[in-house]
Each structure stands twice: as C-alpha cells, then as structure tokens.
Structure 1
Amino acid sequence: MSNTTTLGYHDASVLYATTDFSKLNWIELQWASWYLMIGNPVIATGLASFLLHEIVYFGRAIPWIIIDATPYFRKWKLQPNKIPTPGEQWACTKQVLFSHFTVELPVIWLFHPMAEFFGMSTWQVPFPAWSAIAPQVFFFFVFEDMFHYFAHQALHWGPLYKHIHKIHHQYPAPFGLAAEYAHPAEVFILGTGTILGPILYCMFRHDLHIFTVYIWITLRLFQAIDSHSGYDFPWSLQNWLPIWSGAEHHDFHHMAFVNNFSTSFRWCDRIFGTDTKYRAYRARLNAAKKAGLSPEEYARMEIKLNEEAGREGVEAEKVAENAGFGAGWSGKTKVA
C-alpha cells in the first residue's frame, strides 16, 4: 500500500520532506509544485486526472472540427459525401459533456484511491524510467483492445444495442468529437477496459505510477478520437503499422454496422473472423485502383461502394436490434 496514508493527506509539504529537488527534471518539478499548491493529494490527483481528460479530449477533437470545415481535406475523407454539420457537432458536444460529468468524473476521481490501495504511486517523484513505462503502456493497449472487442460485440446484441449502443451509431460517418458520444452506460462499460488494466497491473505488480497512467490515457484518447475522425491520410498510423486499426478500419464499422469491433489493433477481428465483409470491401476498392481508373472514376466507385455498404448496414442494424443474438453479435449479416 502507498505510504501516503502514513504521511497524512492534510499537509502536502510533508510528502516531499526528504525529496532532493535538485535532482528532478522540469516535469517532475512541476508535478511536485502542483501537489504542494493544492495541498491535498486526493484533490490534486482527482483534479489533475479530470482536467487531463478534458484538455486532451477536446484539444484533440478541435483540429478535426477544423479539418471537417476545410474542403481541401475532403480527398482524404473516407465518406466524402457525409460531412458533419455544426448542429451535429454541437449536439454531440452536449452529450459528451453530459457523460463526462455524470459518469467519467466520478470514475476518474475514484480510480486513483482504488489503484493507490493496490500500490500505485501518485505524488511521488522522480518518475519511473521510460524502460518501465513503455511495456506498461503496451500492456494497457493490449488489455483494453481485447476487453473492448468482446464488450463491443456484446453491445451489438439486440437489447443492449437498442437501449444503449444505438446512440453511438447515430452517425454512420463518424467524426472526432463522436468518439465518446454514447449512452452513459456504454461510457461506463467500455471505459472499464481503460482503467481495469492499470488496476489489475497494480494488484499483481505494485510498481505503477499515475504518470504512466496519464500517458496511457492521453494515447488512448488520441486513438479513440483519431479512429472516429473519418479521415485516412497517407501519414496515418495504420498506413505505417499494419496491425493498427485507425480510422480506415473503424469507419467501416460505423458505415456497415458489422465487422471491426476492436479499438487499437486488427488482430482480434482477424482471429475471430469479424472482418470478412471489411476485407471484401477493401479488395474491391484495391481492384478499382489497379484497374487504372481516373481519380474522378475512382471517387464515384468509392461512393457507390460506400452507399452499398451503408444500405446493408441499415438492414444489419435492424436485424441486430430486433432479433437478439443475430448479425450484430457475430459480426456477420444475412443481407450481404
């Protein structure tokens, strides 16, 4: 258990009584200054955690709003004929803020006392070495991806889809802000995969620092927002790292309703066969490229295939919503 209990929470200066500040780097000094300024480590950690989430989420989403409003970028839009309107962006923002303050704020605030109970450090400096941080963050990515894959499939089961997950599928062409546009229950269910990895790690290893968790949360938010952006740039990570999902992978899920249930990586969908329609769709697009079509002809072909996938998606959604364990659960559809 963390030694903050023995030192006491009411006088933060006691926490750093034996700390040699001359050996700390700039970030570590700012970290200690924050805890000294707030005075109470519980409040300092809870406030920092929530502010980090809000700043990173909206800070990463705003550039995508600007990109959506700039016609120049349409050539990289995965569904170029579906651009979110300002009204949709604002409605999405209100729902996201509602979930952030009613669901995520309490969870974020309660996470660190629980994790600290199992050995997580919060106010302590210096930070762990990068050689320790990197494998921990990788573990969290792998754990969350697997958790999300199975939880996401479950949310496509009739009753759960109809009453919970349907909200997130309101936009068949997603945009950055819509990453956390969801029913509060879904925010809690899928968010569990994000915080459960660090908690389990603390339970067994007892050597995690919340600074590492902040790195993980930042990267996870970037991943979630970027995968909902609706854009596939030549420099997008999925074009450099084949196992990465990215927007090109997840956009198909929103468009066609079926397939591609994972978040960060493609391997669960490949292993369990829930990417067959997606791979067939990509094969047709690749064949069109190799056929030597002009840019205009290829664009028309892409829109045609998107519309076809969208129509099938509407039918697949009806099947999943009304037939219980049907198309949505297996990732396949009878209307292919």
Structure 2
Amino acid sequence: MGGESVLNTIFNKASLYAGVVLTVVVGMAIRGDWLLVLVPFWKSREDPLTKHTEEITANSTWLEYFRLQNVGWYILASISFSMVSYYGLAGWLQWHYYIRRRDSVAEWKCQPTKFLTPENERHEIFMGSFNLLLGSIVGGSLAAYIMNGGRTQMYYHLDDYSYGYLVFSTVLLFLMQDAYAFYSHICFHYPLIYKHIHKHHHRYHSPTAFSATAFHPVEFLLLQAGLTLPIFFLPVYSGSFIMCVLYEYYYGMIDHSGVKMDAVWPWQPPSQFHDDHHKYLHVNFGLNLRIWDWMHDTLRKEDRVCSEEIIGGRGLQKKQVQ
C-alpha cells in the first residue's frame, strides 16, 4: 500500500508539471508569436562578422527595405506550429477536464453549474482560430524583422548591462505589460467600446481554454502589441523578455481554463479571480496582479451586486437593487 501511495504521489506531481508545460506551449502557440521566444537564442549565437548589417539601397526590394526577407517561411512556420498546438494541446485540456471529469465538476470547475452552450463553444473555437491566424502573421513578421537586422532595444549578452539593471528592467517590463493589460481592459469596458468590441469576449460567461484568444480581432491585436512593444524602447535582456512572455502566456491560459487553480506566487491571484470577471463582468480587471484593482477599487465585493448593466467596477449595494 505504501508503494502504491508513493506511485500515486509521483503520478499526480508529474501530471501537474506536465500540465504546466502543456499550458505554456499552448499559450505561446495561441498568441501566434512563439517564434519570438526562439529569436533571442538565434541572435545570441549570431556571429557579429556575419550578422545582417547590409544597408538599404535604391535597388533593395520592399521586403529588404522593411527587413522582412523570407517572411513567408516565418509566417508559415508560425501558423503550422500554432494550429497544431492550439487544437492538439488545448483540446487535450478540454478532454481532460470537461469530458473525462464531467461527473466531478464540483471538484475542479470555477462555475460548476454553468457551461458554454454548443453555439458558444463553436464560436469560441472559430474566433480563437481566426485570431490565431492573425497573431501568427504578426508574430512571424516580427520574428523575420528581428532576424534580418531590424532594430529593437533587446540585448542578448548579460555583460551588456549591469546585473542591477537586469533585475530592474525585468521587473519594469513585467509591470509595464501587466499595467497595459489592466488599463486597456478598463478602456474596453467603457459602454460604447464594450458593446461593439469587448462584448465578443464576454459572451463566454464560463470560459474554457479555447476562449483565451476568442476576442474581437482589434482587441486581440492590441493585446498582442502590448506584450511586444516594450522591446522597441526599453533595453531589456532577451532572457527577461522570454520569461515575462512565457509567464503572461501561461497565466493567460490558466485565467480562461475555468479550472480552479490556487496561486503559485505571492503576487498571483488564483484562477477564480479572472473567472469571476467573466461571471460578474465589470470587476477584477487585472490579469497577473491584484494591485491595479486594489488601487482603483475594482476588486469584486461579495456584499455588492454586479451585472453587465452595472458598470464602474464597484457594483451596487444589494439594497439598491432590491
């Protein structure tokens, strides 16, 4: 019995870590810019004497002018890997919880009494796939731009800056990305923008992993831009960029999985936090940190009523709606 208990413990832990790895891979794929994670490794091994330094001339093609040589191959690679990962791995998560453990939803589901309708399930997969295609085109193009000598502020060798700056810039990058996500999210909840753009995402009141990219295309592209724009004006180590992007992707999948998962880090809210945003709508706007909601008093309060019609992030006192 003791040996069997040990084996069960090992299996459970292995399943947990495998789930994390799968979620990270799916996260990279569904955002469409997984190639950006490989770029720093290629660039760090690049020979300074043979790297792309050619000048743009009048005889250059438009692809050369914009540093997009071989962009088609980058986009094709991005689309291929992204589609296989999205349907294969996200589908596995769906099967593992929503099919295999359908009879025990109270144990793992954030909203155990609510499921998406078949129509919304089809819609989230369609929109997620469409945005995946857009993201792959943008991500593949950006990877081609960097690999062909396009300018960014990323550096690829630790000794280019001090270790103190390494820590500072990494924390700053993470805060910038998360602040961008929060404040853009707030903007998307203004009535007119919400009605025409962000409401597309909130039709999934009980989200699944497939809805992680099921946004209005305009919103999806703006969110993707928010993760990558800092590398054009903030000198940041490529490893720091990779770490922040992978964390954002991983937690973005956890946010929308609909599966109850406790916080791993002190600053990280549990998955229930963002699931409550889908349930109550105009509260809990933050993604990786609670601090922005705390600063703006938009944390969900159990003594208040929230709904799609009650905007502002604070809800109404129960006696006001009785």
- State whether TM-score is above 0.5: yes
In 2 relative to 1, CA 60–267 (structure 1 residues): closer, same or farther, beyond 3 Å? Answer: farther
- Higher alpha-carbon deviation: 52-61 or 161-170: 52-61
How many angstroms does 1:171 deviate by?
A: 1.4
Tell me how far apart the structure 2 counterparts of residues 212 and 151 of structure 1 sit (CA, whole Å): 23
Whether 1:68 aligns to 2:115 is: no
Task: Return the letter of the residue paired with 1:68.
Answer: Y
Give the Cα–Cα distance (whole angstroms) in 2 for the partners of residues 164 and 252 of structure 1: 20
- Select the residue among 250, 266, 274 that pairs with 2:290: 266
Secondary structure, in 3 states, of the residue corresponding to 1:317?
Answer: coil
Does 1:117 pair with 2:151?
yes
CA contact (8 A) 1:152 1:190 kept: no
Amino acid at match of 1:333: G
Counterpart of 1:280 (choices 302, 310, 313) is 302
Give 1:90 deviation, angstroms. Answer: 2.9
Q: Does 1:199 align with 2:232?
A: yes
Shift of 1:41: 6.6
How many Å separate the matches in 2 of 1:217 and 1:50?
Answer: 19
- 2:281 maps to 1:257: yes
Aligned mates of 2:267, 2:244 — CA distance in 1: 19
**Corresponding residue number in structure 1 for 2:258:** 230
SS in 1 for 2:308: helix
Q: TM-score, normalised by structure 1?
A: 0.61
Please list the CA deviations of residues 271-308 of structure 1 after superposition, one character each: whole Å capped at 9, or x if unmatched.
22110xx2436xxxxxxxxxxxxxxxxxxxxxxxxxxx
Distance 1:199 1:189, change over 3 A: same
Shift of 1:46: 4.8
Query: Are 1:227 and 1:245, in contact at CA under 8 Å, matched by a contact in 2?
Result: no
Aligned-partner residue type, residue 61 of structure 1: A
CA shift, 1:258, in A, is 1.9
Mapping of residues 117-136 of structure 1, within 5 Å: 117-120=151-154
Quick one: which amino acid aligns to residue 175 of structure 2? V
Between the aligned partners of 1:55 and 1:200, the Cα distance in structure 2 is 33
**Contact 2:153–2:233 at 8 Å: present in 1 too?**
no
1:155 Cα deviation after fit: 0.5
How far the C-alpha of 1:260 sits from its partner, in A, is: 0.7
- From the superposition, tell whether residues 259 and 60 of structure 1 become closer, same or farther in structure 2 (CA, over 3 Å): farther
Alpha-carbon spacing, 1:220–1:62, altered in 2? closer, same or farther (3 Å): farther
Amino acid at match of 1:78: C
Choose from 115, 122, 134 the match for 1:83.
Answer: 115
- Provide the residue aligned with 2:187 in structure 1: 154
Q: Secondary structure at the match of 1:318?
A: coil
User: 1:215 offset after TM fit, Å?
Assistant: 4.8
How far has the Cα of 1:55 moved from its partner? Answer: 5.5
Q: For 2:142 and 2:267, how far apart are their aligned partners in 1?
A: 30
In structure 1, what is the equivalent of residue 308 of structure 2?
317
Is 1:60–1:225's contact at 8 Å kept on the other side of the alignment? no
> Contact (CA 8 Å) 1:155, 1:164: kept in 2 or not?
yes
TM-score under structure 2 length normalisation: 0.64
Gaps of 5+ in 1: 1-14, 20-39, 282-308, 320-326
Identify which of 306, 315, 319 aligns with 1:333: 315
- Percentage identity across aligned positions? 22
Task: Tell me which of 116, 125, 140 is aligned to 1:93.
Answer: 125
Matches within 5 A, 1:239-254: 240-254=264-278
Contact 1:173 1:254 in 2 (8 A): yes
Q: 1:60 to 1:242 in 2, by over 3 A?
A: farther
Amino acid at match of 1:280: E
1:163 aligned residue (173, 196, 201): 196
Greater share of residues in helix: 1
Gaps of 5+ in 2: 1-45, 51-68
Q: CA RMSD in A?
A: 3.8
- Call closer, same or farther: CA 1:218–1:242 in 2, change over 3 Å: closer
The aligned counterpart of 1:299 is none
Separation of aligned partners in 2, 1:174 and 1:198: 31
1:161-198 per-residue CA deviation (whole Å, 9 max, x = no partner) reads: 01000010001111111111110111022222111233
